[in-house]
Structure 1
Amino acid sequence: MKKKIIGIFVCILFFGASVVSGINNQIEETEKSSRGNTLYVGGTGGGNYSKIQDAIDNASDGDTVFVYDDSAPYYEYVVINKSIDFIGENRDTTVIDGGNTGDVVYVGADWVNITGFTIKNGTIGIHLYSSSNNNTITGNTASNNYYGIYLRSSSNNTVTGNNASNNFCGIFLESSSNNMVTGNTANSNNYTGIHLDSSSNNTITGNNASNNDYGIYLLSSSNN
Structure 2
Amino acid sequence: MPPSPRPLTLVTGGSRGIGAATALHLAGLGHDVVVGHRTGRDEAAAVVTAAQARGVRAVAVQADVTDPAEVDALFAAAGELGPVTGLVANAGLTAHLGDLADTPVDVVRQVVDVNLLGVVWCVRRAAQVMSRSRGGAGGAIVAVSSSAATLGSAHEYVHYAAAKAGVDALVVGLAKELAGEGVRVNAVAPGLVRTGIHAGAGDAGRLDRVTGRVPMGRPGEPDEIAPAIAWLLGPEAGYCTGAVLRVAGGL
Give the structure-1-normalised TM-score: 0.29
Q: Which has the higher helix share?
A: 2
Structure number with greater CO (CA < 8 Å, separation at least 6) is: 2
* TM-score normalised to structure 2 length: 0.27
Larger proportion of strand: 1
Q: Indicate the structure (1 or 2) with the bigger Cα radius of gyration.
A: 1
